[in-house]
Structure 1
Amino acid sequence: MAGMFDQFEQPAQRSEHNNTWNQSGFIHMKLEQDVPIFEKARMNFTPSEKVTHVAISNKYLVVAMANSILFRMDIQQPDQQNEISLAKYTKSCRLSNMFLDPTGVHLLLSFSPRTQETVSELLYLPKSSHKLRATTKFRGLEVTEVGWNYTNKFEASTGPILIGTSKGLIFETEILLEGDKFFTTGLELYCKQVFDIGKGTNTPINGIEFRQIFNSDRYFIFVATPIRLYHFVGTIASDEKPMLQQIFNKYLNIPESLTYYEVKSKLRYSRLKFWSENNSNPSALAWLIEDCILYTKFDPLSDKDISEVMKQSKEIFYPKPVYQDYSVLQKPPIACVLTEFHVLIAYVDKIKGVSLLNKELVYEDNYNEAFGRLVNIIKDPIAGTIWAVAENTVFRFKIAKEDRNVWQIYCDGKNFDLAKRYSRNNPVHYNHVLIKEADMLFEEKKYMESANGYALALSGFEEICLKFIQVNQQDALKTFLCKKLETFNPHDKTQITLIVIWVIELYLNQLEKLRISGKEQTPQFFDLQKDFQAFLALEKVAERIKSIKSTIYNLMASHGDKTNSIQLTIVQKDFEKLIREQIYKNSFHEALDVLKSQNNKELFYQFSPILMQEIPKFTVKALIEQGSKLVPRRLLPAFANCEDELHCNEVITYLEFCVEKLLNTEHAIHNLLISLYAKNNSEKLMKYLDSQGQDLTMVSYFFT
């Protein structure tokens, strides 16, 4: 059979997404020419008669037809197919259910009697055989559901499985074969009833799912009836069979009402479906009942009872037709399939897709008479493919990026963490989420968090700044500007300059307010000052300040901020300019402070002359503090104009330091010291001469 999908059907689509601008200013872009999320492809397979039952697992297809023929085919190798007659059994019974295990190897067929003279049968057909064999332990029991063992990988055995009946009985059994030879005692290695839900009533089991948690001895079991959903959890201490009875026994002494969740439903059936990521343990379930589908996520490791599991469930009500004739009762759905974000609901004549997040209808496809009535919609538990089977046709569903609108739904629901997760690969969508989250935080008056969010987004810069200004949130505005600065490239000079000036102004305003209010020695002031200095030291900021130094110095001067003006010169290494400005303003002490704060010794030689004239005592003290870092001889020009007693005494102090502490022996230094002693202090002159001794070749002074 070549060309499995040689025909494509165009399903009717409902979509509310058009290429129009939304309120946020972003355009709705159609995905790959508006490719629908769900699209079906028709399989190149025409059954010889109407299909009545279907099962697909591990890419293996089994179809039962109205002519009592069972058709089997490997989907990947369609030439590997065969047909088996069921006529022997359908004369007295009708095929009621068909169950295929996850591996696609083990098939069970349930037959119910047509008359009172016959009884129910459960037949077994392995993939490797063409011969149907009847089980012995289930004769007379109408099997309505099978819970397969997902850990079983053996073709010779089903492993322990659970079987549910129309009377609400649950059995554990294992069907075993050895080649083509079955055990003479029957197919079942063992069979034991492990639980009774029906208590003698007609309570069909419509769903059974049990799983072993990976790398543990822990199991969970879900069982569904038309109106109840049961949940059992526990550990298995030994491999003794029946294995799962160890879990059910735990609930024998627990009030039954604690084991199930009950709903009102007139349907004589329900459907239980699960979703798991990459064939891991299921983490979500959908329970189809009369009025809706109950959807919930659950933790496979949790010990919560079923009421807790279903507490957070969503009611996904069945979409109503646009033009509904209320005089005609709507037929209930027959089946459903659960995906990560949607549920596909099958009716006898249509399939509808509903979002699990916002419950909106996203897909609708009607099936015409040529296809026949829909029989089932099923999901291959291993391959993950979805199949819709009508009486005359088989379709495979293609899913194209079903999470495409998930970000928007989460964003509208203010679940921004998930919205960002699902929009991260689309810059436009991700930016939209950032803005919406920041807007919400702003409305909640969480201004700092809002500022961080706005800074990460591509949004109207002036608009955001104005928002914080209008509510007088200077800290938030400053945070926004600083964070925004981090996003700019070095070549964005204009934007960087604007932000740097603005942030500096905000810092200076805040520092000035604290100084005026007498809080200059508080932790609040120190922390703010520390933040300011860190900002000035940022590479991007420091580089930009080099081009606007005069503007920044003027800003600091206008706020009377001498400390930061000096700190800025340290960062910028622009000491000469600042010293000149301070001297020009007659701020000699400030000029000396700047001089002392830097390491360029040439500036000492350059500015000492004027500072000696204006503040000789403080200047000499600063020179002495420099010690041997300075060359005293180069300071002599600074002392040349010191003629009055005050200035001379300060010069003498420095020269004495050079002679006595630095042990300087330069003639120029000693000669100037003698000269000043002679003019101002004859007593010190005599002591100095005595200290030099009588040997003229050994003295440090020099006379021509």
Structure 2
Amino acid sequence: MSLGKDTLLRIDLGKPDEPNQVELGRKDEAKVYKMFLDHTGSHLLIALNTSECLYLNRSVQKVRALSRWKGHLIESVGWNKFLGSETNTGPILVGTSQGHIYEAEISVSEGSLFSTNPDQYFRQVYTLEEESGPAPVCCLEIERGIEGKFFIIATTRKRLFQFVGKVPEGTEQQGFSSIFAVHADHLPSFREFPANLGFSEIAFYTPKLRSNPRSFAWMMGNGVLYGTLDYSRPDSILSDERVWVYPPDIDITVNKPISIVLTQFHFLLLLSDRVKAVCTLNGQVVFQDLFLEKFGLLTRMIKDPTVQQIWIHTEKVVFRYHVQRESRDVWKMYMNMNKFDLAKEYCKDRPECLDIVLAKEAEHCFQNKRYLDSAKCYALTQNYFEEIALKFIEAKQEEALMEFLIKKLSNLKPSEKTQTTLLTTWLTELYLNWLGILQGDPSQRNLYLDTREKFRTFLSSPKNKDCLFNNRASIYELLASHGDTEHMVYFAVIMQDYERVVAHHCQHDEYDEALNVLSRHRDEKLFYKFSPVLIQHIPKKVVDAWISMGSRLDARNLIPALVNYSQSASTQQINEAIRYMEFCVYQLEETQQAIHNYLLSLYALCRPDSLLSYLEQAGTSPNRIHYDLKYALRLCAEHGHHRACVHIYKVMELYEEAVDLALQVDVDLAKSCADLPEDDEELRKKLWLKIARHVVQEEKDVKKAMACLSSCALLKIEDVLPFFPDFVTIDHFKEAICNSLEDYNKHIEELKREMEEATQSAKRIREDIQEMRNKYGSVEPQEKCAACDFPLLNRPFYLFLCGHMFHYDCLLQAVFSSLPAYKQAKLEDLQKKLAATSQPSKSHHRSKDADTISLGKGQQSREQIKADIDDIVAAECVYCGELMIRSIDKPFIDPQKYEEEMQSWL
């Protein structure tokens, strides 16, 4: 800022406490007329009232005079925002008081302030005129559009000129001469107003630094020309222009405005004693700030394009304005202008204001018969639901009412279940009514299809799913009341109510469709329920579907359907039932008895050959057979399948019944049954006798009867002879009799040989016993007990053949714990008896003979007791016998004393 005729004050807002004074170095009466600072703050032009111009760069302290500019009073400067740098301005435009526009360039070199290179120039490119001749160039602005197009705006006191042209790519540094050259012979397009302030000023609003301005405001005699800038237009960027006249208290002859600044929604007018803010949307004054006389008259107002701050100064004071919440009431203005989208944009964070805008928009649309748009807006408001609904009903706008309900439904919260249910049911009723009307009008076919699609979208909406599911009974009733079976099926599919879908298809004889639904959704319960109906009409397809389900189906639950079907079906149709049962048995390897029993019954009814094959494949082990043997036997007997009955008898091990029944069919079959009881020779012989009797008495075939003797070694000729009649030729079984006699002779010889061997064995045993009685061993005096390691001869002892020697009591102690409980008890009893026989007699008056007799009896009993004790204790060496082998897994330390033993080692 200028502090006087010869001093400038430069303040860095980042360091406001460090101001810098710059001397202009003028000794004459020259004063600062105007100053022009570029948008980066790097270049400052100082116009003097003596038609001279000075230049100051941010990086230097010294001001330099621009000699080529001398003689021109500078009124305006158009800075180059696209090519300028901190040391070079690039091509700029300069407007003078004589109406001339000059193109210039200023650069700073390292060696000196100004470069002497040719790129520093000052040349005239155009002259602006009004009707009376050349006029001062009040303002200049350079903007670049798309595709290399430049727009230059220049204003005089009453006119606003636009210069439009392209600068060839790569030649931007050469300046704008080519743009002005186009208009050398004629004036460019301009706007002119009759009133005259003596000057004019244009302001621009740029939302972001280094972006193009979005709007402009030109302050001139008739008011303020406001508009937007459209860079896509070919010849003029000014758009949506309007003139806002000055407020009534401004008289351009008395207190004309001095300066103007443009913000997003307002322009500020500077008067000598106040500031007025006028809204660009409606031209109303929304703010006024009066200044006290002590501050002096207001002289200038500018806006910092970088931080969007507004500066106002007098001769004494500088003021700064901050723009805050400028758009807070803009929504209301846009609403009153019926620009509802913009109004909603500027109040989207204020729900109460947004509701007012929506209500106003809805009412505006309703008045203009845009009912669908009105419904969409009403649905977003907090207006009473009933009033809005009645409004559309009275206007007979069902489609708009539906739209309102749909939007209202989409805005409800999950917790508002009652309202959701009400709207869902009402919408369903409206859709059905509307579809019914459209369906009866062929000319409305397209609308019907579109409405049907909307209805289906409504039914399948995930948001409505829970509500529709919980109230599906009501929806079904509505669909049924309208007779809309198509959508009833559609709704049932959405609700996954496939039971209803299948039932519908079955009722309308659409069995293939019903089966397709079952196969697609693979619900086992539905298969069980509807299979009895479907198999009556499409048995093969049903069985194919069952097979495709595999193990997911329990065949037991399908048996009732097959039973009902097989009772009335032909053999060919029963084969389908057999096919599925075979799949269960052989593919799924089912073991359930009901399945096997039913397959068995089907085989018995239609496939006897498969019956026997199945029984044989099932095996003969009762534990591995999955059918009921008694049921199978009764079934086969009822249908006369004797071979199958024979097989079942064999499995049940009823061999006599098997042979008896087999003899009615085939003797060879009976023979195969007779050999089955391998462990019971008596029964096997009995069975073969049955066969022999049958052959002799029924078939009267002697040769075959003799063959039975060779087939079974248990049968002898004497067993068979009683079956023959009294008079029969012996030649037929002479050989069999001879063979039998030879077998008897051989058996007698074998018995004699066995008797001789037994005699020899008994003789050898007697000799061994006698040898054992005469066996003895020698004990040295120093021998010790193997258990306690004390001298052996001190107490009674035992000597074993293995060489181990033990004291009696040591051996008793070692053996006792290993004896079974009953032997331990017996041993204790024997010890008590032995102790009792060792006590002297208490009678002193017995005769000598009586004592002798008593001693004799006691001595005999005592020896027997000792022998019994020896049999238990000394049966085997405790170290070499089985006792030692059995104790291999016995712990060295008793588990009960383990903890005690561990503690002793610590």
Q: Same fold by TM-score, threshold 0.5 exceeded? A: yes
Measured on the aligned residues, the alpha-carbon RMSD in Å equals 4.1
CA contact (8 A) 2:299 2:313 kept: yes
Superposition pairs of residues 365-444 of structure 1, within 5 angstroms: 365-444=289-368
Q: Secondary structure, in 3 states, of the residue corresponding to 1:74?
A: coil
Distance of aligned partners of 1:208 and 1:525 in 2 relative to their CA distance in 1, 3 Å threshold? closer
Match of 2:207 among 277, 288, 309: 277
Tell me whether 221-230 or 274-283 shows the greater mean CA deviation.
Answer: 274-283
Q: Secondary structure, in 3 states, of the residue corresponding to 2:295?
A: coil
Distance of aligned partners of 1:407 and 1:622 in 2 relative to their CA distance in 1, 3 Å threshold? farther
Give the whole-Å Cα distance in 2 for the aligned partners of 1:317 and 1:651. Answer: 103
Match of 1:96 among 29, 33, 38: 33
Give the whole-Å Cα distance in 1 for the aligned partners of 2:387 and 2:325. Answer: 35
Identity of aligned residues (%): 32
CA contact (8 A) 2:10 2:20 kept: yes
Distance of aligned partners of 1:319 and 1:527 in 2 relative to their CA distance in 1, 3 Å threshold? closer
What residue in structure 1 maps to residue 672 of structure 2? none
Amino acid in structure 2 at the alignment position of 1:376: R
CA contact (8 A) 1:167 1:204 kept: yes
Give the whole-Å Cα distance in 1 for the aligned partners of 2:271 and 2:412. Answer: 56
Q: Secondary structure, in 3 states, of the residue corresponding to 2:365?
A: helix
Indicate whether 1:626 and 2:515 are aligned: no
What residue in structure 2 maps to residue 471 of structure 1? 395
Match of 1:497 among 421, 424, 429: 421
Match of 1:291 among 216, 222, 225: 222
Give the whole-Å Cα distance in 2 for the aligned partners of 1:547 and 1:70. Answer: 82
Distance of aligned partners of 1:510 and 1:154 in 2 relative to their CA distance in 1, 3 Å threshold? closer
Indicate whether 1:72 and 2:37 are aligned: no
Superposition pairs of residues 187-198 of structure 1, within 5 angstroms: 189-198=120-129
What residue in structure 2 maps to residue 319 of structure 1? 247
What residue in structure 1 maps to residue 158 of structure 2? 227
What residue in structure 2 maps to residue 535 of structure 1? 458
Indicate whether 1:559 and 2:482 are aligned: yes
Give the whole-Å Cα distance in 1 for the aligned partners of 2:88 and 2:444. Answer: 82
What residue in structure 1 maps to residue 74 of structure 2? 143
Distance of aligned partners of 1:234 and 1:623 in 2 relative to their CA distance in 1, 3 Å threshold? same
Superposition pairs of residues 560-599 of structure 1, within 5 angstroms: 560-574=483-497, 589=508, 597-598=517-518, 599=522
What residue in structure 2 maps to residue 447 of structure 1? 371
Gaps of 5+ in 2: 547-553, 586-595, 616-631, 639-906
CA contact (8 A) 1:341 1:402 kept: yes
Amino acid in structure 1 at the alignment position of 2:103: E
Distance of aligned partners of 1:409 and 1:195 in 2 relative to their CA distance in 1, 3 Å threshold? same
After superposition, the C-alpha distances for 1:65-117 in whole angstroms (9 at most, x for unaligned) are: 3x654433333333222153676232xx454322223333433232335xxxx
Distance of aligned partners of 1:472 and 1:590 in 2 relative to their CA distance in 1, 3 Å threshold? farther
Greater fraction of residues in strand: 1
Match of 1:82 among 14, 21, 27: 21
Give the whole-Å Cα distance in 2 for the aligned partners of 1:521 and 1:139. Answer: 82
CA contact (8 A) 2:125 2:177 kept: yes
CA contact (8 A) 2:33 2:48 kept: yes
Give the whole-Å Cα distance in 1 for the aligned partners of 2:456 and 2:133. Answer: 81
CA deviation after TM superposition for structure 1 residue 125, in Å? 3.6
Distance of aligned partners of 1:529 and 1:594 in 2 relative to their CA distance in 1, 3 Å threshold? farther
After superposition, the C-alpha distances for 1:45-81 in whole angstroms (9 at most, x for unaligned) are: xxxxxxxxxxxxxxxxx1243x654433333333222
Distance of aligned partners of 1:622 and 1:150 in 2 relative to their CA distance in 1, 3 Å threshold? same
CA contact (8 A) 1:218 1:234 kept: yes
Give the whole-Å Cα distance in 2 for the aligned partners of 1:285 and 1:520. Answer: 55
Q: Secondary structure, in 3 states, of the residue corresponding to 2:283?
A: coil
Distance of aligned partners of 1:557 and 1:68 in 2 relative to their CA distance in 1, 3 Å threshold? same
CA deviation after TM superposition for structure 1 residue 261, in Å? 1.8
Amino acid in structure 2 at the alignment position of 1:226: R
Distance of aligned partners of 1:355 and 1:635 in 2 relative to their CA distance in 1, 3 Å threshold? same
Tell me whether 173-182 or 285-294 shows the greater mean CA deviation.
Answer: 173-182
After superposition, the C-alpha distances for 1:381-423 in whole angstroms (9 at most, x for unaligned) are: 3332210112221100011111112222222222223223222
Give the whole-Å Cα distance in 2 for the aligned partners of 1:624 and 1:472. Answer: 56
Amino acid in structure 2 at the alignment position of 1:71: L
Tell me whether 394-403 or 124-133 shows the greater mean CA deviation.
Answer: 124-133
CA deviation after TM superposition for structure 1 residue 172, in Å? 1.1
CA deviation after TM superposition for structure 1 residue 213, in Å? 5.2
CA contact (8 A) 2:55 2:66 kept: yes
Q: Secondary structure, in 3 states, of the residue corresponding to 1:63?
A: coil
CA contact (8 A) 2:392 2:400 kept: yes
Distance of aligned partners of 1:381 and 1:560 in 2 relative to their CA distance in 1, 3 Å threshold? closer
Indicate whether 1:268 and 2:198 are aligned: yes
Q: Secondary structure, in 3 states, of the residue corresponding to 2:391?
A: helix
Greater fraction of residues in helix: 2
After superposition, the C-alpha distances for 1:346-399 in whole angstroms (9 at most, x for unaligned) are: 011111001111211111011221010001111123332210112221100011
CA contact (8 A) 1:655 1:673 kept: no
Distance of aligned partners of 1:413 and 1:142 in 2 relative to their CA distance in 1, 3 Å threshold? same
What residue in structure 2 maps to residue 303 of structure 1? 234
Q: Secondary structure, in 3 states, of the residue corresponding to 2:68?
A: coil
After superposition, the C-alpha distances for 1:191-232 in whole angstroms (9 at most, x for unaligned) are: 211111249945111001123459x74422111100111111
Amino acid in structure 2 at the alignment position of 1:109: I
CA deviation after TM superposition for structure 1 residue 291, in Å? 2.1
Distance of aligned partners of 1:651 and 1:538 in 2 relative to their CA distance in 1, 3 Å threshold? farther
Give the whole-Å Cα distance in 2 for the aligned partners of 1:288 and 1:385. Answer: 20
What residue in structure 1 maps to residue 655 of structure 2? none
Give the whole-Å Cα distance in 1 for the aligned partners of 2:21 and 2:62. Answer: 12
With normalisation by structure 1, the TM-score equals 0.73
What residue in structure 2 maps to residue 547 of structure 1? 470
CA deviation after TM superposition for structure 1 residue 154, in Å? 4.0
Indicate whether 1:338 and 2:262 are aligned: yes
Distance of aligned partners of 1:692 and 1:358 in 2 relative to their CA distance in 1, 3 Å threshold? same
Give the whole-Å Cα distance in 1 for the aligned partners of 2:81 and 2:153. Answer: 14
Give the whole-Å Cα distance in 1 for the aligned partners of 2:443 and 2:471. Answer: 28
Superposition pairs of residues 77-226 of structure 1, within 5 angstroms: 77-82=16-21, 84=23, 88-90=27-29, 93-113=30-50, 120-128=51-59, 131-151=62-82, 153-178=84-109, 181-182=112-113, 189-198=120-129, 201-212=133-144, 217-226=148-157
CA deviation after TM superposition for structure 1 residue 451, in Å? 3.0
Distance of aligned partners of 1:670 and 1:302 in 2 relative to their CA distance in 1, 3 Å threshold? same
Distance of aligned partners of 1:423 and 1:501 in 2 relative to their CA distance in 1, 3 Å threshold? same
Q: Secondary structure, in 3 states, of the residue corresponding to 2:67?
A: coil
Q: Secondary structure, in 3 states, of the residue corresponding to 1:189?
A: coil
Give the whole-Å Cα distance in 1 for the aligned partners of 2:285 and 2:538. Answer: 83
What residue in structure 2 maps to residue 248 of structure 1? 180
Give the whole-Å Cα distance in 2 for the aligned partners of 1:698 and 1:156. Answer: 107
Distance of aligned partners of 1:64 and 1:657 in 2 relative to their CA distance in 1, 3 Å threshold? same
CA contact (8 A) 1:167 1:198 kept: no
CA deviation after TM superposition for structure 1 residue 462, in Å? 2.5
Q: Secondary structure, in 3 states, of the residue corresponding to 2:240?
A: coil
Give the whole-Å Cα distance in 2 for the aligned partners of 1:275 and 1:498. Answer: 52
CA deviation after TM superposition for structure 1 residue 276, in Å? 1.2
Gaps of 5+ in 1: 1-61, 114-119, 612-617, 676-687
Higher relative contact order, chain-length normalized (CA < 8 Å, sep 6+)? 1
What residue in structure 1 maps to residue 888 of structure 2? none
Distance of aligned partners of 1:471 and 1:669 in 2 relative to their CA distance in 1, 3 Å threshold? farther
CA contact (8 A) 2:299 2:314 kept: yes
